[in-house]
A and B are shown apart, each in its own frame.
Chain A
Amino acid sequence: MTPTLTVLADIELAYWQQTVIKVGIVAAVIPTAALILGYVFLLKMMSFMQSRLGPMEAGPHGTLQLLADGLKFIQKEDIFPERADRYVFAMAPVVVLMSTFLLYVVIPAGPDAVVSNLDVGVFYALAVSSLSVIGILMAGWASANKYALLGGLRAAGQLIAYELPLVLAVVGVVIQAGTLNLQNIVAAQATGEIFGWGAIGNPYIFTQFVGFAIFLVAVQAELTQPPFDMPVAESEIVGGYQVEYTGFRFLFFFMGEFGTAFAFAGLSSILFLGGWYIPGFDVDSNWLNLFGPLVLFAKIMAVSFLIFWFRFTFPRFREDQLQRLAWKFLIPLALANIVVTGVLKVAL
């Protein structure tokens, strides 16, 4: 059964007015998301795990630390390396941030709380997320720095390698839900049953746990975070593709990284954890427009916790080991997962 979703309430807005509002929402979400993740995980959780005294001084519980950091970044001098390709150099962070912006367009936070309910939502999300490769490669090439070039090439190799497991891990979900639309995937999880028991729906983490694991690993690599952070490996190539960036351009990369972490955590909550749905409500109940974002936020924080936990405990792979993991282990596993899902879908 594919439940019909209620249409946006009967407010009449001109198309341009809707567009302005939606762009405003997306534009506001990314810095906020970066701030929240940065504060909760980068500052608080990391300090706790690593016994750092950490930022406790700026504002209550160090809440103003990130704002102070942002202010510091903006004050810094905007440097172009002498032999850099100026336009490409300047555009690179924008392209990276743009791919994050585009991701937020399709992520639903409630039955109607979505900027654009595309029928090919999954496909779109995975496609735009890989745009950041171009930005990173642009940054690495245009910096006219050997470290940056190495970092950019490493990043390109890594992001392309992990694009495949990322996509293949989702195919299982798509087969099981029978749709590419993110809203319908949430609805399918909300109304599904596991072993004939439908009280909590069927969050796909129970049936697609292999896909979930592969997806998380691939997300980790897409974010260029430890253990997959050799594009920015600070002890080898000192920041990699971003080594020549200062001030707000660097801040863009930073925001892009955390914004993408938030978006990918949202995507995995929607694909595997049931998204904005909580058991006990109708799928198209209007209440979920109110609670949905909160539920989704809680799930995003849970997934982000996992993502950042890995970041703080694991050392870094070497390039060849990383490629081996992707091509020899994750992709075959993902393919096997697809086959098993497909067979079970037909058989059951």
Chain B
Amino acid sequence: MTATESQKLAYIAGQAADARLNVELETDGMTLNIGPQHPATHGTLRIVARLDGEQVIEAEPIMGYMHRGYEKLTEVRTYPQVTTLINRIDWLGSFANEVPFILAAEQLMEVEAPPRAQWIRTALFELSRIANIALFLGDMGVQLGAITPVFFAFRDREFVLNQIEAVTGGRFHPNFDRIGGLKDDLPKGWIAETKAVMEKMRTFCDELEDLVLGNEIFQSRCRGIGVIPPEVGLEYGLSGANIRASGVDWDIRRDVESPLVYDQLDWKVWTHPDGDSFARYWVRLQETREATHLVDQILDGIPSGPVMAKVPRIIKVPAGEAYVETENPLGAMGYYVVSQGDLIPFRVKIRSASFSNLSIAPWLLKGVYVPDIVTILASLYFILGDIDR
């Protein structure tokens, strides 16, 4: 046996010993099936996670359990009928779903809603934002094991829903926006009541800042968890508070011209440099507070006049294409409407925020602990109806 051969044998023996050691230390991977019915997934989302102990090796979201075919359904409904459908996409901020579609239709018809309608529209838009994000603010606590915040959220969200109901008659599905304006004017005394409610919501924000944001366990659970660098976030098409929490100063309300009256109001877009779960919570909390100030300003500034422009009784939209995007509670939501001059849209493509917000999840979930799955999913904040249209 030559020297090299014995060296080679020793090397092989050493390798075998290493292999044996690895076999001893190696743990069997475990596939954990989270959902489709699971409290952490906000609905019928399923996440298949491969675990090594408590650590996630990879996680893949599987969706489509409640796909309802909205884009196809719009092709067999007249334009006014579509609003009933699209109300139900993001069921927590439903009025906000109607606005971009109506704006797109108005753009195609070259109709402009009267100023009073635009102001009220903006007010309701912000109210549904508050009602929507309030639930996130409470729900994030629940996902981390604190049950109290969500009851506060439900309690105070009720007041906002009452205000929406007082105008529209619907709590969850207002179906109130019309091409060319709004269905009705404001009821008497509504402005003063809403101002009182906004005061309450500001107290609610302070409460949650104390109870959740200031809690040390909450901070240690969220800081540094699920960090999204701005470039990666943009690459995955994140929008809304998720991308603003990564320090990207982009808000459609401010940066894109639209008939909504944001450019006439005095407000601020909140960003946070960290990009972690804590930053996302922080940005949403600030946004809710900012929205209450926005509503206050709108209520002071509503001009008088009609709430409905002159539109034909039977709405026929001239042929053409339009894409309108607005800053919905969850992020950018847009409708690409193609018309061929019929009573019904030829094709509607819906771009909703939740789908993109979730799409970064597999990238984020690699290597985190099982409890962090919940933190990250909660902080990304998606509505399953918004994903499975």
Chain A residues at the B interface, C-beta cutoff of 8 Å = 49-52, 146-147, 150, 154, 226-227, 229-230, 233-238, 312-321
Contact = CB atoms under 8 A, between A and B. Distances in A.
Given A50-B152, A235-B40, A321 B374 contact: no
B141 A315 contact: yes
Contacts of A316: 144-146, 217, 221, 371
B184 interface: no
Given A233-B371, A234-B39, A315 B146 contact: yes
B166 interface: no
Given A50-B147, A50-B151, A235 B142 contact: yes
A320 B141 contact: no
A319 B369 CA distance: 9
Interface string B201-229: 00000000001100101101100000000
Contacts of B54: 150, 154, 319
Top 8 closest pairs, chain A to chain B, by CB: A316-B145, A315-B144, A50-B151, A315-B146, A318-B371, A235-B143, A315-B145, A235-B39
Contacts of B218: 315
A315 B149 CA distance: 10
Nearest to A154: B54
Contacts of B146: 226, 313-316
B74 to A, nearest CB: 35
Specify the main secondary structure of chain B where it touches its partner.
Answer: helix
A308 to B, nearest CB: 12
Given A50-B151, A235-B39, A236-B371, A321 B145 contact: no
Given A50-B151, A313-B211, A317-B217, A233 B145 contact: yes
Interface residues of B, number: 31
B374 A314 contact: no
B315 interface: no
> Which of B54, B146, B148 neighbours the largest number of chain A CB atoms within 10 Å of its CB?
B148
A313 B148 contact: yes
Contact of A235 (B30, B151, B152, B374): B374
Given A314-B217, A316-B217, 6 more contacts: A51-B155, A236-B370, A236-B371, A236-B374, A237-B370, A313-B211
A275 B218 CA distance: 35
Contacts of B33: 146
B301 to A, nearest CB: 34
Contacts of B388: none
A238 B33 CA distance: 12
Nearest to B37: A238
Interface string B363-381: 0000001111110000000
Contacts of B141: 315
Contacts of A235: 39-40, 142-145, 374
B38 interface: yes
> Which of B32, B147, B215, B372 neighbours the largest number of chain A CB atoms within 10 Å of its CB?
B147
B151 A51 contact: yes
Contact of B220 (A52, A226, A312, A321): A321
Contact of B152 (A51, A317, A319): A51
A258 B146 CA distance: 19
Contacts of B370: 150, 236-237
A320 B220 CA distance: 11
B148 A319 contact: no
Contact of B38 (A229, A238, A313, A315): A238
A87 to B, nearest CB: 25
Nearest to A51: B155
Nearest to B41: A235
Given A50-B151, A226-B146, A238-B39, A315 B217 contact: yes
A145 to B, nearest CB: 11
A316 B152 CA distance: 18
B98 to A, nearest CB: 31
Interface in B299-353: none
23 contacts: A50-B147, A50-B148, A50-B151, A51-B151, A51-B155, A150-B54, A227-B145, A230-B371, A233-B371, A235-B143, A236-B370, A237-B370, A238-B39, A313-B215, A314-B145, A314-B217, A315-B144, A316-B144, A316-B217, A317-B221, A318-B220, A319-B369, A321-B217
Contacts of A146: 30, 32-33
A318 B39 contact: no
A50 B211 CA distance: 12
A312 B145 contact: no
Contacts of B152: 50-51
A68 B69 CA distance: 44
A315 B371 contact: no
A91 B267 CA distance: 62
Contacts of A147: 32
Contacts of A237: 370
A49 B148 contact: yes
A257 to B, nearest CB: 16
A218 to B, nearest CB: 16
A229 B369 contact: no
Contact of A320 (B30, B40, B143, B369): B369
Interface string B100-119: 00000000000000000000
Interface string B52-63: 001000000000
Contacts of A313: 146, 148, 211, 215
Contacts of B143: 235
Interface in B36-94: 38-40, 54
A83 to B, nearest CB: 16
Contact of B215 (A154, A233, A312, A315): A315
Contacts of B155: 51
Interface string B131-165: 00000000001111111100110010000000000
B151 A52 contact: yes
B215 A314 contact: yes
Contacts of B147: 50, 226, 312
A315 B374 contact: no
B278 to A, nearest CB: 12
Nearest to A47: B151
Contacts of A236: 40, 370-371, 373-374
